[in-house]
Copies of this chain bind each other. A is one copy, B any other.
């Protein structure tokens, strides 16, 4: 029997809350029988939903919160609102009542609140946002996706440590390969910062897994299991790739309805297309995570459905059950202080020729 884990859940976050949240928990409760869910939100709306969803109802402890954070609310305003469902769900993790939190609410507010309330893990300079994307060779972990617009060498190295552990705990890989996103794969490409980060990684315990620099096209190709980059580039790259796939899907839909024979062709292809559709299903990739905090934080897409929300819960459970944060601590201890100075000191003296 597995130990019971508790996740706190922002009952009011997302475009279709609280309905989708409860419907998602109904699926999650079946998948994770040992899990408990502490749901924060408007009791008057949540109680009837929980009564109607038996599995969720049995796994949930409901706690009323008078406020909710809207999608348009600025993080500073969200921070002042101490009785929102999101804030109280985060407080539950900080207070030790839950191991992690899942919210489909306002991303900026979730980032800011969880950083300030939970605090950064000892040894981590800046938390990062990570997600899983599809590739030609299986799922790929990307980070940072926008939590840190400007990053230094230390940040990039820490992202690699966290990305490695995330790929082990959530993708179940034993030795994920790591790539540092750059404008070319040659060692001299990119700026000083990125070249130094590559040097540190090459010399670290992650060296055997470190593939070196990768380029934009390596994301979809799946050249490495983990793609490390700063939050500006990562955010742009993820959205650019999603945009390209979406455009191609739209064009295909037009093609499939463009003539009678095309419609017939589509009917014949439909069973085979199903695999492609499943592979690209955004619900399978739902659940961006904030890594590097004292607790697990998973952000579900605001517009997802019950299945997508349940997937975000899966991600949180994987991280909690596989002791994500303890393994981050172990990884950090092995890499030591990841500064260029430390790296230079660790280099052997140049031998006489």
Using a CB–CB cutoff of 8 Å, the interface residues on chain A facing chain B are 135-136, 146, 149-150, 181, 183-184, 190-191, 215-221, 229, 231-233, 235-248, 250-252, 255-256, 258-259, 261-262, 264-269, 271-273, 275-276, 279
Contact = CB atoms under 8 A, between A and B. Distances in A.
A57 to B, nearest CB: 38
A97 B150 CA distance: 46
Q: How many copies does the complex hold?
A: 2
A120 B136 CA distance: 41
A273 B244 contact: no
Nearest to A268: B265
Given A255-B272, A279-B251, A220 B244 contact: yes
Contacts of A258: 272, 275
B250 A136 contact: yes
Interface centre among A229, A231, A241 (most CB of B within 10 A): A241
A128 B276 CA distance: 38
Contacts of A250: 136
A128 to B, nearest CB: 14
A216 B245 CA distance: 12
A245 B242 contact: no
A237 B235 contact: no
Contact of A269 (B181, B232, B255): B255
A257 to B, nearest CB: 9
A226 to B, nearest CB: 16
B183 A232 contact: yes
A47 to B, nearest CB: 36
Nearest to A269: B265
A116 to B, nearest CB: 18
B215 A239 contact: yes
B216 A240 contact: yes
A217 B239 contact: yes
